Every structure is written in C-alpha cells, then in structure tokens.
Amino acid sequence: MALKQNAYFWALLAVLLWSTVATAFKMALDYLSPVELVLYATTASALALLCTCAVQNKLHVCHRELIKRPLFYLLAGLINPIAYYLVLFGAYSLLPGSQAQPINYTWAISLTILSAIFLKRAIRPVDAVACLLGYFGVLIIATQGNLTSFQFDSGLGVLLALLSTFLWAAYWIINAKSEVDSTVSLTLSFCIATLLLWVFAGHSVDFSKLNGIAIGAVVYIGLFEMGITFLFWSKAMKLATNTSVIANLIFLSPFISLWLLHFIRGETIYASTIVGLAIIVGALLLQRFSFKKGA
C-alpha cells in the first residue's frame, strides 16, 4: 500500500508539473526567441541532471557510456533537446498555447507511424482508426471547429507542432532498445546539446532580455519540462503495482494545462479546443486499451 501511494504521489507530481509548462513556454517566449529559450533552458536542465547524477553517484557511469557510444548520444542530443525544442518553441511562438499544447499531445500517434516505418511494426486496424481520430481532433483545434474553411491562426505553427511530435517519437525510438539508466542517458544528451548550442548559437543571444520573469521561466522549463520531471515519472512507474493505472494519469495533463493557460495567460479556450482534445485523448485511450487486450 505504501509503495502504491508513493507511486501515485510521484505520478501526480509529474502530471501537475507537465501541466504548467505550456504556460511557462508562453511566458518565456514573451521575452526570448525560440533559439534563446532552447539555449538557456537546455543549460539549466543539463546542470540539474549533472547534479542529480552526482548525488546518485552515476557520474562514472556517464563517463563510461560517453566513451562507449559517443555518436549515439550526439544523435540523441541533436534530436532532443535541440531539434525537438527548437521546433516546439517555434510552434508556441506562432500559436496560442491552447492550440500548440493539444496538437503536441499527438506524439503517441506519431510514434505508431514511425514504429511502423523504422521498426517494421504492423499498424493494426485500431491503430489506423486512432491515427485518423487523432488528426481529426487536430484539425478541429487548428480551425477552431470551422472544418470547411481550412483557415488557421498560423499554418506554419500547426506544421511545426505536428513536426515536434515526430521528433519526440524519433527520440523514443532510438532509445527503445537502450538498457542504459534514463538519468544517465538524459544527462549525456543534454550536456552534449548544451555544448553544441553554446558553440553555434551562443554568440547570437541577447543577454539583456533576461529579466526576472524570463530567468524564472527558463529555470522552471529546464528543471520541470526537460529533465527532472521525467525522473519523477520513471520513479512512479517503477513503484507502481499497476503501471496502466498510473500511466492513464497522464491524460489529466492537457486539460489542466488548458485551465492554467486560461486563468494565468488569459487565453480564450474555445469549445472546439475541448472537443478536439477530447477526440485526441479518446484516440490515445483506444490504442492503449486495445493493446492491453491484444487487439
């Protein structure tokens, strides 16, 4: 019982933290460009992960893994955080958070598509239905329910939000067969990415933009979106006696996120956004439960 309660604690903590990051993205982007935000937040996350590894006595493991597979961690770092967050923050800079966040939530559908292409996993009929439903939900959100108009707040923003889901899915695929501790893997990816970002983008940033709000948002994103929260979620899954129940808690996140965007950022949450998000979540649940039944 104690383990089960601890699992719920860490899972709910992770869900609540992930629910806040869309608001943090928009606050940071009020002052910073997507490149600057990626640079600063990745640096903050890398430092936090290094400290975590030091406390857990895993720095020697990081060193051993880096020597063993330098190109793997270079590729991982290029995908996540560099490419993924550059594209994602680009989407958030062009779209309201209430549109970008639900669209980004279709990454599990993108994972199904990429798994079929690169891992040769068959797409079941239920997967095809879930994909169609999920992207129908995206269309409802992007057009604010006016399906015949095909008019978007930003067509480029919608494309970037969708592209970010494929980048995130690609990162999961290249790590699918890795047996390396997740803390070690994240630390190496983010440290390499930090070095690359400072070398290639550090000269172009404007440090005068870093006021109190921007610094707070950057540190928050670095800690609770990019790094530490994944460790909370991993801990919850390890402690859980029923991982499916814990995993389903993640579906609370996008709805809490919309509520926060409305009350903190003042964004208008359209009925079409709720409907579209409900369809996306329904599609993901359809996949999850049919997989458990072996459909």
Q: What is the pLDDT of residue 78?
A: 98
No. of helices (H) and no. of strands (E), the chain:
15, 0
pLDDT for 294 beyond 60: no
Question: Which tokens in the block code for residue 160?
Answer: 């970037």
pLDDT for 1 beyond 50: yes
Q: What whole-number percentage of the chain has pLDDT above 70?
A: 96
pLDDT in tens, 149-170: 777 888 999 999 999 999 999 9
pLDDT for 295 beyond 50: no
How far apart, in whole angstroms, are the C-alpha atoms of residue 129 and residue 123? 10
What amino acid is encoded at 189 in this protein? S
> Which residues, 6 or more positions from 66, have their beta carbon under 8 angstroms from its beta carbon?
73, 188
pLDDT for 104 beyond 80: yes
pLDDT in tens, 121-156: 888 899 999 999 999 999 999 998 888 777 788 899
Q: What is the pTM of this model?
A: 0.92
Q: What is the pLDDT of residue 293?
A: 59
How far apart, in whole angstroms, are the C-alpha atoms of residue 164 and residue 249? 22
Q: Where are the domains of the chain?
A: 2-293
